[in-house]
Structures are given as structure tokens and as C-alpha cells.
Amino acid sequence: MDAVITPNRSLTARGLVVLILVMTALDAALATLFVAMGAAPIPIFMAIALLAAVVALVASRRAATRRERIQVTAAEVRVVLESPRGAQTVWTSPTVFTRVSLAGEDDDESRLALHLSDRELAVARALSRRERRDFATALERAIARARLGQFQA
């Protein structure tokens, strides 16, 4: 198994630029109105709020480029976080001893985790509850098949 999980973002890069431009234009129009009314300090706070919104949107966009790759082989289960800066392995465990758990399946916030002894790693956080449940089933099957393949070889 070699699964890549990416967050779903509906705002494209072009859409982000358009949104920021529209927000800036509205902010500038309102700032002009407030200055004309004699309320000069208000545009300063509006600019700070606009800057905070732009920083949040850009941070969200950057987070959307991160990917989580889960690989299951006969020898090991590996979780790699990939970002524009590079890939970083955050989990490696022998397939034979790796367990999968799905906690809170009935809640809105289900949690899919890999376990090895006392170590635990939450995975597939970008997926919806139903997708996470389906992915847990697929991951358990992949680990079971990998274990069988290891002992048959």
C-alpha cells in the first residue's frame, strides 16, 4: 500500500489572489470613507485586521500543500510528511507489530492511529470521518496482507 493523503482546499492560488484583492479594495474604500468622516485612527485598525486575514489565508494555503504518505510493505509501515521544503519520515515500525485503531467512530471527531508498543501516531487527519473509517479498513487489510506476504516468502 502506498497512500497519499492531501487536505481538500477549494480555494485555488488564483482565487486566493482575487480574494485578497477584493478584501483590499473594500478595506481601502471603507478607510477612505472613515478618513473623510474624520475618524483617522479606524483605517489603521482595519489595515491590521486585513493583514491578519491575509496572513491566515496564506498560512492555510501553505498547509494545503502538505501531504501525508503512508506506505505498508512486508518489512515496515512508514509515514512520511511531504511539504515543499522536503519529506520527513515521522513514523517507522515493523509491519508485524503495528496495530491500527479508530477511536471515537461515533463522534464527529474520530481518530485513526497507528500503534507500536507505547508509541502512537495519529494519521489521516485531513480525511472526513467516513473516509477515515474506510481508510482504517484499507490500512488494516494492507497490513494483514503484508504480514502474510512476509511469512510466505
Helices (H) and strands (E) in the chain, counts: 3, 7
Altogether, the residues listed in the chain come to a count of 153
The answer to whether domain 67-152 has CATH 2.30.29 is: yes
Q: Across the 153 residues of the chain, what is the mean pLDDT of every consecutive 10-residue run?
A: 83 90 95 92 94 92 84 89 81 88 72 87 85 89 84 51
pLDDT of residue 20: 94
Hey, where are the domains in the chain?
13-63, 67-152
pLDDT of residue 153: 47
**What is this structure's pTM?**
0.66
* E strands present in 84-151: 86-94, 99-103, 111-116, 119-123
